[in-house]
Amino acid sequence: MKQTLQLRLGQQLTMTPQLQQAIRLLQLSSVELQQEIQQALESNLMLERQDENGEALMEGKEESADPAVAEPSADGDMQALEVGQQGEEIPAELPVDTRWEDVYEPGPVGGGAAPDDDRDYEPQGSTTEDLGSHLLWQVEMSNFTPVDRAAAEAIIDAIDGDGYLKTPLEEIHQLLLEQFPELELDEVAAVLRRIQSFDPPGVAARDLQESLLLQLEQLPLDVPWLEQARAVVRHHFNLLAKRDYNQLMKRSLLGEEELRQVIALIQSLNPRPGGHISSSSPEYIVPDVFVTKVNGRWRVELNPENTPRLGINRRYAAMIRRGDSTADNLCLKNHLQEARWFLKSLQSRSETLLKVASTIVERQREFLEHGETAMKPMVLHDIAEAVDMHESTISRVTTRKYIHTPRGIFELKYFFSSHVKTSSGGEASSTAIQAHIKQLILEEQPRKPLSDSKIAEILSSRGIKVARRTVAKYREIMNIPPSNERKRLA
């Protein structure tokens, strides 16, 4: 093969670590941003928390008296940052709006070296106990023989997160025979009955009917309509599930008012007895943006608590000597430049978030005024065009970012929805259509709930043309059962 030299011209996009950081900060939630800020404070000696007057809040970082080393700060007011003479120049605006896929792998938020003692620090008041641990703790507190204890552990291991025993008792018995050849199936069943008396009530049931009966058995005997409720669940559960109230009254010999009381008692039980015991830590939502109405106008502002006031430590910045190439001086220079980039990235994130949130509020003022039924159809392209950014940037900014409004706290993505044509030639958002469907179902007659076809007909009379299958799809999205399951006594 003959070797030749060729000259080619081409373009290639390259992202510096600083721009990668700015783009990554855009997609962090408020909780993750706090962790990222804390990590930066711990790893960069030039960064410090400051109060409203620019004074350092951390002990041991006194302000230098030399005014020539004054540095900018990053806070909720998004003050302009000045670029010093040292290091790489920081642009006035970071190009965080990208039209290409990110060329970096995002690392763990707030990552860093693990502490030497490898201890796990849990938030105060958090719970890590799951249903299995909760049941095993009760086994420890009970008087079980070694064989019964092994059977109890096998049964608990087969209980799912909702509290139901999904594995047949015969299979559990067969597994235990390998260790205890003389174990009888009746003994395993006896252990199961003991576990079914544990907390939470209704746990270790094999189906919903058994779970409801277990919960009724643990209620005090003086609860009104207890015996009738037990009889209905035990002997007429299929009629109850079908909501065939006429047959149910005939079979149970109960009047309409009596049956209503019995059903109310049954509905007070928990169909998922293990659902309230979870090992997952609660996820706290901290609003990123506040929307308030002042003098008839909607005002949008960032939550100042999400981005604490940060600044450059003037004492350490004053130690940098020009022309000094020693390791210590270079380390100080690198820390200073990294701190400036971090502050600039925080400012860019705040500015972009505020711009996007303000545009969303401007377009969805009708929702703020009148509620979900007035939600306008809107897609990412609409906001991207309005703020002159790419859709991928809008997606980053609106993911896991929350806005506090007089109507509640919503994720910014909540305001984006598809649309359908109306008879007048306009458009209605899917969120507004779902709100109309929910309102119709709330106002329906309990004895004669509206079918999907009837709901589509009513919406059509209001100028919103949707098919029956579209109504069914939106109803399922809202976890609303069909009409035959919504039928109930008035």
Please tell me the distance from the alpha carbon of residue 123 to that of residue 35, in angstroms, as a whole number: 14
Neighbouring residues of 6: CB distance < 8 A, sequence distance ≥ 6: none
What's the pLDDT band for 281 if we cut at 50, 70, 90?
low
Place of tokens 């007909």: 457
Q: Which helix (H) or strand (E) holds 290?
A: strand 289-294
CA 417 to chain centre: 19
Q: Is pLDDT at 161 greater than 80 in this prediction?
A: yes
Please tell me the distance from the alpha carbon of residue 162 to that of residue 131, in angstroms, as a whole number: 9
What's the pLDDT band for 121 if we cut at 50, 70, 90?
very low
Q: Which of 300, 393, 390, 310 is nearest to 347 (CA)?
A: 310
* Cα dihedral 194→195→200→202 (10° resolution): -80
| Secondary structure of 382-411 in HEC code, one letter for each residue | HHHHHHCCCHHHHHHHHCCCEEEECCEEEE
What's the pLDDT band for 91 if we cut at 50, 70, 90?
low
Question: What tens digit of pLDDT does each residue of 315-334 get?
Answer: 888 888 877 788 888 899 99
**Secondary structure (3-state) at 112:** coil
Please tell me the distance from the alpha carbon of residue 73 to that of residue 311, in angstroms, as a whole number: 4
**Secondary structure (3-state) at 289:** strand
Q: Is the peptide bond before 200 cis (omega within 30 degrees of 0)?
A: yes
Q: Where are the domains of the chain?
A: 130-278, 289-305+345-415, 419-486
Give the Cβ contact number of residue 102 at 10 Å: 15
Which two structure tokens, joined as six digits, stand for 408?
């509640």
Q: Is 35 exposed, middle or buried (0-12, 13-18, 19+ CB in 10 A)?
A: middle
What's the pLDDT band for 269 if we cut at 50, 70, 90?
very high
Q: Is 480 exposed, middle or buried (0-12, 13-18, 19+ CB in 10 A)?
A: middle
The more confident residue out of 464 and 250 is 250
Q: Which of 76, 26, 119 is nearest to 309 (CA)?
A: 76
Please tell me the distance from the alpha carbon of residue 489 to that of residue 486, in angstroms, as a whole number: 10
DSSP state of 322: T
311 strand-pairing partners: 48, 73
The confidence score (pLDDT) of residue 83 equals 30
In one-letter notation, the amino acid at residue 318 is A
How far are the Cα atoms of 147, 190, 198, 203, 233 from residue 217, in angstroms, in the given order? 27, 17, 12, 12, 12
The confidence score (pLDDT) of residue 27 equals 86
Please tell me the distance from the alpha carbon of residue 275 to that of residue 160, in angstroms, as a whole number: 10
Q: What is the pLDDT of the chain when averaged over all its residues?
A: 82
Please tell me the distance from the alpha carbon of residue 34 to that of residue 28, in angstroms, as a whole number: 9
DSSP state of 182: T
Mean pLDDT over residues 17-23, rounded?
78
Q: Which of 5-9, 211-215, 481-485 has the highest mean pLDDT?
A: 211-215
pTM for this model (two decimals): 0.62
CA 479 to chain centre: 18
The confidence score (pLDDT) of residue 236 equals 94
Lay out the sheet containing 73-74: strands in order across.
47-49, 310-312, 73-74
DSSP states along 200-267: STTTTBSSHHHHHHHHHHTS-TTSTTHHHHHHHHHH-HHHHHHT-HHHHHHHHT--HHHHHHHHHHHH
Q: In this structure, which topology does domain 419-486 adopt according to CATH? A: Arc Repressor Mutant, subunit A (1.10.10)
Question: What tens digit of pLDDT does each residue of 196-225 get?
Answer: 999 999 999 999 999 999 999 999 999 999
**Long-range contacts: 142-151, Cβ < 8 Å, 24+?**
142/194, 144/191, 147/180, 147/183, 147/187, 148/187, 148/190, 148/191, 148/194, 150/176, 150/179, 150/180, 151/176, 151/183, 151/187, 151/188, 151/191
The confidence score (pLDDT) of residue 39 equals 92
Give the Cβ contact number of residue 364 at 10 Å: 23
Mean pLDDT over residues 85-89, rounded?
47
Please tell me the distance from the alpha carbon of residue 415 to that of residue 409, in angstroms, as a whole number: 12
Mean pLDDT over residues 103-112, rounded?
41
Please tell me the distance from the alpha carbon of residue 341 to that of residue 325, in angstroms, as a whole number: 22
Place of tokens 């719970």: 127
The confidence score (pLDDT) of residue 373 equals 85
